Amino acid sequence: MDTINQVFSLFRINYHNQYHAAFGDVTVLNQAKRLWKETLAPFTSDQILRGAKLVIEHNEYLPTLHAMLEACERTLVTEGVPTVMDAYREAANAPSPKNAQSWSHPAVYLAGKKTGWHNLSTLDEARSYPMFAQAYRELVKRVLAGEELVIDRPPALEHKTGPVLTRDAIAEQLQELKNLLE
């Protein structure tokens, strides 16, 4: 809760009038803090504070929880996890076979797979993006919890070499095939 208290202190300083209008009642303030703590739980204290600073730098109005969540997600870029929109574009534009591609992060592939490659390629962005974003955010939460995501790669084809045939052996096998067709 210390991190959330720090965030709300930053907001009180930077958005003074808006902050007091929104959280003038202690009960409302405590409810908001609990909600923010639950929603931002997957993120580290450092990521939450960096997200708060990003919001303050780019918004002149008191941010919503959604804006704060997106700001915390943007801090993940430094850790190799693309933003939701970048991940969506990567998944939607990836060629097939999907599991053989070089992905920026396994969460991108797995979110695309969960959303459905057909949905990503046929539905418009207004319908496919929310589905992808939900799947991607769930996977990012798992990554933040320490889970290592793995892409199910296709097995490599075996290189089978048969015996080297002579011209006579090839002609004999060819004749056997012709006989089967007659």
Instruction: Give the list of residues 6+ apart from residue 162 with CB closer than 8 angstroms, or none.
Output: none
Per-residue model confidence as pLDDT tens digits over 144-159 = 878 899 998 777 767 7
Handedness of CA 158, 161, 162, 167 (dihedral sign): positive
CB 101 within 8 A of CB 109: yes
> Is the pLDDT higher at 124 or at 143?
124
Give the pLDDT score at 36: 96
**In this prediction, what percent of the chain has a pLDDT beyond 90?**
63
Q: How far apart are CA 176 and CA 18, in angstroms?
A: 88
Give the pLDDT score at 73: 85
Is residue 21 very low, low, confident or very high in pLDDT (cuts 50, 70, 90)?
very high
Cα separation values, 22 from 1, 73, 166, Å:
20, 24, 87
pLDDT of residue 44 exceeding 80, the answer is yes
| Three-state DSSP state, 97 | coil
pLDDT of residue 94 exceeding 80, the answer is yes
Give the pLDDT score at 144: 81
- The stretches of the chain forming alpha helices (DSSP H) are 2-14, 16-22, 26-39, 45-58, 65-75, 84-93, 106-115, 117-122, 125-144, 167-181
Give the pLDDT score at 103: 93
CB atoms inside a 10 Å sphere around CB 5: 11
Domain boundaries, the chain: 2-77, 80-144
pLDDT of residue 160 exceeding 90, the answer is no
| Three-state DSSP state, 83 | coil
